[in-house]
Amino acid sequence: MKLTTFIKDRIPAVAALLAISFSGITFSACTTNDSPIPRKVTFTREALLDKIKGGWAAQTIGVTYGGPTEFEYRSAMIPDSVNIPWGEPDYVANYMKRVPSLYDDIYMDLTFVEVFDRLGIDAPVDSLAMAFATARYPLWHANQAARYNILRGIMPPASGHWLNNPHADDIDYQIEADYAGLMSPGMPNAASEISDRVGHIMNYGDGWYGGVYVGAMYSLAFISEDIEFIVTEALKVIPAESKFHKMMSDIISYWRENPNDWKYAWQRCHEEWEPYDVGCSEGALDPLNIDASINSAFIVIGLLYGNGDFGRTIDIATRCGQDSDCNPASAVGILGTAIGYNRIPAFWLDPLKKAEDLKFAYTYSSLNDTYAMSMRHALEIIEREGGKIDGDQIMIKCQQPKPVALEQSFPNLKPKHRMQLGQQLSAEPYTFECECDAMVINGSVKCADKEYVAKVEITVDGATEIAEMPALYRLRRLDIYWNFELQPGHHDVSVRWLNPVEGATIAMPDVVLYEKVE
């Protein structure tokens, strides 16, 4: 093995100590004797842009590759016998034209990137939130619950808080956080600050941590190609006492116990961590798991067992199942940042190239536009965080990862029973009784008049609230009712439709009941 290759594979632990330079990147000495983070790193403009492009390009490749499998395998691995297609020269371009909604990973990122480009990197949170809430694209899970909240005046961070958003732990910000790391090269704490502002629009607790962690991994991928370093150092931004940190630490331990068999880590993870999705009433007590933590675990499995190989990383992260387009997108996006655009294998990169000038749905931006925007934002943050730009030389003051605030959604709550109701609501009250510590009542409205807003009265133990349920899918309310702070024990529930109209229906299929556990 050549000395330069040996050193590159162990950056920054070796390269930083020797203060060496290669491929337009120079590392300084480490800040402390026990820290693998270099004190500073200097890029040429070309080298920095290559990594930014690598992250965006690889993310787009990942979501395209995994797209046909998304949520087709729930709590199950995708068998090796299942062929996942790839390779035609127009493969990505054709998907972008035929299935634009597949790229929610990208156009959600770009919602915030475009606001930063218009208003600056310190854009107000309310501007970011309103751009997201009023966008024309459809949303799901925590994103949709946050949109509903924001359009009714519940602004961040309350819009993402678990008391207001039953989907607070879902994957939403995790799939949208790539931009935060890509505009914060070598500065994971700067990425966390951005994620604090944006990620709390739609998430809290583990749902927020997923995005914070992904952003930190992208940030550290600028200064190392060592996957173990990226995964473990980035985890330092997550509080050690959190469930999310413990879960990711376990995944890393499984890999160290058996570094050659990713299915071993998947099985251990499934047995010890995946039994249920807590907050999402759709996934609770169901093989579907849209929780950020389990899907973040699959990103880590893809990265560690892929061991720097682009094809293995994307394939393993996909075959872990569940959100199997978003997970490989994040995994190879991080790897693409580490190795840079020009080192993405041609087999994977060539089918992307004809798509790089296509605008993503619901945005003004193509990949080529995005490369340039992210470069501008990165330069601004580098200077704001104490770095220097001198012609072609860009000096970054690297940051030691610091943990963000401790948050926990749905403390000590566990779904215990899905109570079937099978009701169509009417003006007559429908009543039921249940025993629980928290509940989410599922339901949806259908009406040909998309301007119609149903009003549903829910009374629990004598306390009444009115839920407004728009018929327009883009503005819908995901759940009829939720309350995660009920008094333990017996509850009397009444639900009635206050303003029924001809041609409209409101289905109320079931209610998810929760119990407190220690």
Side chain identity at residue 509, one-letter code? P
Helix (H) / strand (E) containing 421:
strand 413-424
The C-alpha atoms of residue 45 and residue 25 are separated, in whole angstroms, by 10
Cβ atoms 25, 41 nearer than 8 A: yes
Burial of 497 per CB tally in 10 Å (0-12, 13-18, 19+): buried
Class for the domain spanning 413-516 = mainly beta
The C-alpha atoms of residue 350 and residue 92 are separated, in whole angstroms, by 10
Give Cβ neighbours of residue 339 (< 8 Å, ≥ 6 apart).
54, 225, 308, 310
Side chain identity at residue 399, one-letter code? Q
Helix 346-353 and helix 310-319, axial crossing angle in degrees, nearest 10: 80
> What mean pLDDT do residues 401-410 have?
97
> What mean pLDDT do residues 164-188 have?
97
pLDDT digit string (tens) for 211-225? 999 999 999 999 999
pLDDT digit string (tens) for 30-53? 545 467 899 999 999 999 999 999
Cβ atoms 213, 195 nearer than 8 A: no
Lowest mean pLDDT among 1-5, 140-144, 326-330, 497-501: 1-5
pLDDT digit string (tens) for 128-137? 999 999 999 9
Roughly how many angstroms between the first and final C-alpha of the chain, as a whole number? 53
Candidate CATH numbers 1.10.10.350, 3.90.1530.30, 3.40.1670.10, 1.10.4080.10; the one for domain 6-80+94-397: 1.10.4080.10
Helix 243-257 and helix 292-306, axial crossing angle in degrees, nearest 10: 30
Give Cβ neighbours of residue 81 (< 8 Å, ≥ 6 apart).
none
Asked if the model's pLDDT at residue 270 lies above 60, the reply is yes
Task: For the chain, give every residue range classified as CATH 2.60.120.260.
Answer: 413-516
> Is the bond preceding residue 12 a cis peptide, omega within 30 degrees?
yes
What does the DSSP 8-state code read for residue 403? -
3-state secondary structure of 495: strand
For the chain, the average pLDDT equals 93
Asked if the model's pLDDT at residue 513 lies above 80, the reply is yes
pLDDT digit string (tens) for 368-397? 999 999 999 999 999 999 999 999 999 999
pLDDT digit string (tens) for 472-512? 999 999 999 999 999 999 999 999 999 999 999 999 999 99
The C-alpha atoms of residue 237 and residue 407 are separated, in whole angstroms, by 13
pLDDT digit string (tens) for 227-243? 999 999 999 999 999 99
pLDDT, position 275: 64
> What mean pLDDT do residues 121-149 have?
97
Give Cβ neighbours of residue 106 (< 8 Å, ≥ 6 apart).
59, 60, 63, 360
> What mean pLDDT do residues 160-187 have?
97
Structure confidence at residue 87 as a pLDDT band (50, 70, 90): confident
Structure confidence at residue 26 as a pLDDT band (50, 70, 90): confident
Give Cβ neighbours of residue 512 (< 8 Å, ≥ 6 apart).
281, 284, 285, 415, 417, 418, 419, 439, 440, 442
pLDDT, position 25: 85
Tokens of 239: 């509080």
Tally Cβ neighbours within 10 Å of residue 181.
32
Task: For the chain, give every residue range classified as CATH 1.10.4080.10.
Answer: 6-80+94-397
CA-to-CA separations, 204 to 9, 32, 131, 425, 447, in angstroms, rounded: 35, 33, 20, 32, 32
HSE (CB half, 13 Å, CA atoms) of 226? 20
